[in-house]
């Protein structure tokens, strides 16, 4: 005859199986939640990097034009009916340019600001704004 102690060592009871399944399930829910949050954060960072690259590229074009040619006509929202490269990858992506012709009260300084805005994956608005100052080196004042 086998004793009760010998029979219990042979396997798990139903309650032990249910408890371990619940603990494993709670752990898996936590891991899946962390992975989802990491994927969303990665996509947000990717969107921000793309928006920064678009704004930086626009500022570089402005600098290459120089003071005299720095006007809005060189920077359309679309070219031949197509959205600017990169903006179509941002949900609701839009580029806005502001040129201040007399920055800090000086007619020899222009401040250019480029803002790229879009809607994040969860629908929240996001934007990147970069600015630069361009000087008129060819114009000499009498003072």
- Provide the Cα torsion 37, 94, 128, 44; round to 10°: 10
Query: Is there a domain that residue 110 lies in?
Result: yes
CB 120 within 8 A of CB 114: no
74: containing domain: 13-135
Q: Where are the alpha helices (DSSP H) in the chain?
A: 4-8, 14-65
pLDDT string in tens for the chain (143-residue length): 555 555 556 678 889 899 999 999 999 999 999 999 999 889 999 999 999 999 999 999 888 888 888 888 888 766 666 667 778 888 888 999 999 988 888 888 999 999 999 998 788 899 999 999 988 877 555 44
Q: What is the pLDDT of residue 121?
A: 79
Residue 7: inside a domain, yes or no?
no
- Asked if 49 contacts 92 with a C-beta cutoff of 8 angstroms, the reply is no
Tally of structural domains, the chain: 1
pLDDT for 24 equals: 94
- Contact predicate 140/118, CB 8 Å: no
Asked if 141 and 135 count as a contact pair (C-beta separation under 8 A), the reply is no
Give the per-residue pLDDT at 3: 56
In a domain, 37, yes or no: yes
């Amino acid at each position: 005859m086998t004793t009760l102690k010998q029979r219990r060592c042979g396997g798990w009871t139903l309650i032990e199986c249910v408890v371990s399944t619940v603990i494993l399930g709670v752990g898996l829910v936590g891991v899946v939640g962390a992975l989802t949050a990491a994927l969303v954060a990665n996509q947000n960072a990717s969107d921000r990097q793309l928006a920064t690259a678009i704004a930086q590229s626009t500022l570089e074009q402005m600098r290459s034009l120089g003071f005299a040619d720095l006007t809005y006509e060189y920077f359309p929202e679309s070219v031949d009916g197509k959205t600017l490269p990169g903006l179509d990858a941002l949900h609701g992506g839009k580029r806005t340019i502001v040129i201040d012709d007399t920055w800090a009260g000086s007619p020899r300084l222009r401040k250019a600001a480029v803002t790229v805005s879009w809607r994040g994956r969860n629908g929240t608005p996001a934007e990147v704004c970069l600015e630069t100052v361009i000087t008129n080196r060819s114009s000499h004042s009498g003072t």
